[in-house]
Amino acid sequence: MRNAFGLMLMSLAAATLIATGGWFWNSHRSSAAPQTFASAQATPAPVHAKPLASRDPIETAGSIPEKEPAAPAPQPKQTCANPDALGVSRVVEIDTTGGPGFGFEHFKQIDFLGDKEVVLSFDDSPWPVNTPAVLKALADQCTKAMFFSIGKHATFHPEILRQVAAAGHTVGTHTWSHANLNSKKLNEQAVKDEIEKGNSAVKLALGTAPAPFFRFPELQHNPAAMAYLGTRNIAMFSCDLDSFDFRAKSPEQVINTVMTKLDKQGKGIILMHDFQKHTAEAMPELLRRLKAGGYKIVFMKPKAPMQTLPEYDEAMMKEMKLPVAGVRPVNTIVQTVSQ
């Protein structure tokens, strides 16, 4: 029943998007008609199953809840039930004025981590099963991380993204559809649309503004995109240490890659993906290894929330809403006639 109902909703969403010519299927994607959910799929397809496999993300329709969710309530000061927890050793507040860059793989101006200090960061959030598993592992160790959310994934699973924020983690953004912003296929307007649609979609999903923290898909940046983020006072994140977890064949491989690099470099911002199954499975042991290795977690949070652009907020609200009021009861559409 649930599957049938879900399929019906998705079909309606697809039909509506096609009928209205959804504005986000804009000119830079004119080479191909937008793909919507295959009818056999019970859940929305990810924007990219293998991050580096393709430069053309799959176009899929998403949904925003009928009502804008309430902003997460401020969390009371939590006590940690785990006496051996990794915890958080230091919280740093980032003034994002002018769009500072972090992560020595690309941005080498700001060196703020001491020896053995580590920042945990996860891209492509949110996703069922894997994101909640990462959240549980972090909660069990009473530690905090940054999550960079893809706009489309946020519209698919806003309730999971709200769990991330409610747990006190920092939620930044990662474009609308995981487009490579350094691609020659994207003009200046298309780059702006990718960034701002992502920002507004994440804000709508969360019910509150995200952090003005941004990570370029595939770590692909260029001077024009950086200059734009600078004018928007959005901090740019690369990493110091790439886990390459999307290539890992097992949780052990994720752990070994991270620990080997970390033991060599001594500190850094670690890039992982809460979207990835092996990463989710690796987290409990990886966090234990970090603790055992004497590493300390630094939690990065913004001094002020992101200022999204009203025109993108309005457009996303208008275009992403599903015509829920017009949905007929399932039993008027699907009836069992033989069993």
C-alpha span between 189 and 194 (Å, rounded): 9
Q: Vertex 84, ends 78 and 89: CA angle to 5°?
A: 60
177 neighbors 59 (Cβ within 8 angstroms): yes
Shortest spacing between CB 176 and Zn ion, in angstroms: 12
For residue 32, give every residue at least 6 positions away whose Cβ sits within 8 Å of its Cβ, in sequence order, or none: 56
The two three-digit tokens of residue 121, written as one number: 């960061």
Min. distance of Cβ 114 from Zn ion in angstroms?
A: 28
The tally of CA atoms less than 13 A away on the side-chain side of residue 195 is 32
Minimum CB–partner distance for residue 333 and Zn ion (Å): 37
- Our finding on whether 274 is near Zn ion (CB under 5 A) is no
Name the minimum Å distance from CB 242 to Zn ion.
Answer: 11
Map the footprint of Zn ion across residues 211-230, applying CB under 5 A.
217
Size of the site for Zn ion (CB under 5 A): 3
> Which of 63, 86, 101, 123 is the binder for Zn ion (CB under 5 A)?
123
Instruction: Report, in Å, the least distance between residue 51 CB and Zn ion.
Output: 5
Structure tokens at 182: 């350094």
Nearer to Zn ion, 17 or 186 (CB): 186
Minimum Å gap between C-beta 219 and Zn ion is: 9
Cis preceding-peptide flag for 69 (omega within 30 of 0) = no
- Give whichever of 213 and 295 is closer to Zn ion, judged by the CB atom: 213
Nearer to Zn ion, 88 or 179 (CB): 179
Residue nearest to Zn ion (CB): 123
Task: Report if residue 124 touches Zn ion, rule: CB under 5 A.
Answer: yes
Long-range residue pairs from 128-133, CB within 8 A, at least 24 positions apart, any chain: 128/43, 128/157, 128/160, 129/277, 129/280, 130/274, 130/275, 130/276, 130/277, 130/279, 130/280, 131/157, 131/160, 131/163, 131/164, 131/274, 131/275, 131/280, 132/160, 132/163, 133/280, 133/281, 133/283
Task: CB nearer to Zn ion: give 145 or 322.
Answer: 145
When the beta carbons of 123 and 196 are compared against Zn ion, the nearer one is 123
Q: Is 194 in the site for Zn ion (CB under 5 A)?
A: no
CB of 73 to Zn ion, least distance (A): 29
Binding positions for Zn ion, rule: CB under 5 A: 123-124, 217
